Amino acid sequence: MARFRRRSGTSAELVGESAMSDVAFLLLVFFIVSTTFPEIGLPLILPSKSGEVKQVARTNVMQVVTARTGLYYIDIATEPTPLSQLRGLVKERLADNDKLILSLETHPEAPYGNMIEALDEVMLAYEELDTAGVKRDKRISLKMLDVE
Amino acid sequence: MELRRKAGSGARIPTSSMADIAFLLIVFFMVTTIFKLEQGLPITLPRSVAGEKIPRERIAHIWIDKLGTISVDDLVVSVYDIEPLMARKMRENPALIISFNTDAQAAYQVVNESMERLKMANALRVSFTTMPEEG
């Protein structure tokens, strides 16, 4: 039976190290070129200009008004609703009514960021309902308040 | 007199630090290079939790700063220019998403007017760019 023996005479078996930096560079350049930071945003589909105007029942609309001060008012409430409560309220209404349209109405001089915060809460309400097994189509409408 | 070669005194340049030098160069050039990118306007984006990733290759940006200045393709434009500009972009890519990079302090009416112009250009897919916030 053949026996494996170490080859006599240590033949210097070296892995070439000189090319290691080349490989490192290649990787570096590859990742620099291929890396793009994703853009995060809240997507929305605007209504078409040519689309017909539909009448909807008042009961199927929930108004979330962002006032000039940046405070939020729901429907025709005179007291502002804190942002932290908005999501819960939207969820309640959405769970009750599958035809509910969220109408985000904003004062022309209200800060854009405050409207986005409200929109974020509305989106989260949809998301949380979705994970709870309540499917609702996103019916969100953006509107600017008419002010005289 | 006869000149003789010196016996081979293995004159070598040390190469072990070559990679260090190369890295130094690459870092230097990375830091100093400015790519020609769309600069946009200096803005502070609003924050959101529900933000989704928007595919970059389908995005066209509209920048609106705190004072309501509108910029498209690094040119300051008026709200009336948005319709023809975006209509042209929509012809090139009908699946385009118009991304609003708007300062959180901007007045809403500028955004609203821009959206009205987008509707005219039939550019209906929009996205409001936000900074992700852990929530």
Domain locations in chain A as residue ranges: 58-144
pLDDT tens across B67-93, in order? 999 999 888 999 999 999 999 999 999
CB–CB of A123 and B19 under 8 A?
no
**pLDDT-based confidence at residue B7 (cuts at 50, 70, 90):** low
Q: What is the pLDDT of residue B134?
A: 66
Q: What is the C-alpha to C-alpha distance for residues B120 and B123, in angstroms, rounded to an integer?
A: 8
- Across the interface, of A42, A46, A108, the residue whose CB is closest to B107 is A108
The CATH number of B47-132 is 3.30.420.270
**Helix locations, A15-82, DSSP H:** 20-34
pLDDT, position B98: 94
The CATH number that domain A58-144 falls under is 3.30.420.270
Length of chain A: 148
pLDDT band at B116 (very low <50, low <70, confident <90, very high): very high
DSSP state of A19: T
- Domain ranges in chain B are 47-132
Instruction: Look over chain B and give the mean of its residue pLDDT values, rounded to a whole number.
Output: 87
The reply to whether residue A116 touches residue B53, judged by beta carbons under 8 angstroms, is no
ipTM confidence: 0.74
DSSP output for A87-120: HHHHHHHHHH-TT-EEEEEE-TTSBHHHHHHHHH
Tens digits of residue pLDDT in B42-71: 888 898 888 889 888 889 999 999 999 999
Q: Residue A64's pLDDT is what?
A: 92
Residues of chain A with pLDDT under 70: 1-12, 148
